[in-house]
Amino acid sequence: MKTVLSLLPLPLLLTAAGAESGQNLAQLYADYGRLIVTQFVSAPFPHASRAQGHSWGKDFFPADKHYSDSTVAIFIPRGLRGGQRVDFVVHFHGWGNHVSAVLAQHQLVEQLVASKRNAVLVVPQGPRDASDSCGGKLEDPDGFKRFMGETMATLRFRDRRAFHNSRMGNIILCGHSGGYRAIAFILAQGGVTENVREVWLFDGLYGQTEKFMDWFDRQRCRFVNIYTERGGTKRETEALMANLKGKGTPFLAQNDVESSPQSLQTNRLIFLYTDLSHNGVVNKRSMFGELLKTSCLGESSAR
């Protein structure tokens, strides 16, 4: 699969001030559209499950440093066509990361703009720079419904002319690595599952597999699982494929470099093996952008 991002690159390393300042972060992406960096009441954290922090192995992650950040980044691409319905791509980051670094490292904004898809990108802060997959409030019943309600309210408040008559449309959930867990609980009890049309895991099928398959069996929408040799997801992925094969459930299994836009569009259950590194699966071959181009999303008016 060959893709070239034609947009100007952003620096991969942000200054400390830029990382912490929503205004500075928004300025970095001003050429691509409007980035809103705000705090949500319904953001994953803080949450009671991590009120005392969290331990992983020999490491301890105190709540004040790792579970008190309620940041949510909302990106509205230039050329977004308004209307009665607004579609969303909601991305969940993995371990040891935070919103500003995720945007820069994985080039989410650049790939969305290059794809010319008509959707708003939303990136909530999960466990900040911690070895943890917890989804916080998004694991609670109707937690995602509250989150998306606050997202819609924020859009209407920030740009009443464009969004005052809009309702929530299609939603694509995607996650890298540990971001899988929040998605799994959203599918099981998030409250707006009927809007979720696609789920993409970037080397993230570590568990909760029954929740993903229960959703797929109900919705018959597109589920894409990209896995690597050493990212820790190969065994679970191969076990799932063997189970599906045993039940006679059709699916597509290919190397990522062999996949085509047609195969990505016409199949609903897709497993892509890649030789990329765990941290390279989202952007090194612009897979996020390729999935956007072949998604249920319509085109924007950008040229």
Judged on CB neighbours under 10 Å (0-12, 13-18, 19+), 154 is middle
Which residue type is seen at 231? G
Tokens representing 235 are: 């065994």
pLDDT score of 7? 40
pTM for the full model?
Answer: 0.92
User: For the domain with range 16-293, which CATH number is right: 3.40.50.1820, 3.10.129.10, 3.40.190.10, 1.10.260.40?
Assistant: 3.40.50.1820
Could you tell me the pLDDT band of residue 14, with boundaries at 50, 70 and 90?
very low
CA angle 108, 203, 181 (to 5 degrees): 90
Structure-model confidence comparison of residues 7 and 246, the more confident one:
246
Q: Which of 8, 122, 12, 124 is nearest to 76 (CA)?
A: 122
Q: 232, exposed or middle or buried, with CB in 10 Å at 0-12, 13-18, 19+?
A: middle
Percent with pLDDT over 70 in the chain: 92
Identify the DSSP state of 78.
T
Percent of the chain with pLDDT over 90: 86
What share of residues in the chain are helix, strand, coil (percent, to 5)?
A: 40, 25, 40
Q: In the structure, what pLDDT confidence band is assigned to residue 100 with cuts at 50, 70 and 90? A: very high
- Whether residue 40 is predicted with pLDDT greater than 90 in this model: the reply is yes
For 232, the 3-state DSSP assignment is: coil
Are 93 and 179 spatial neighbours (Cβ–Cβ below 8 Å)?
yes
Confidence of residue 261 (pLDDT cuts 50, 70, 90): very high
H/E stretch holding 102:
helix 99-106
Q: What is the DSSP letter of 10?
A: P
Give the mean pLDDT of the chain: 92
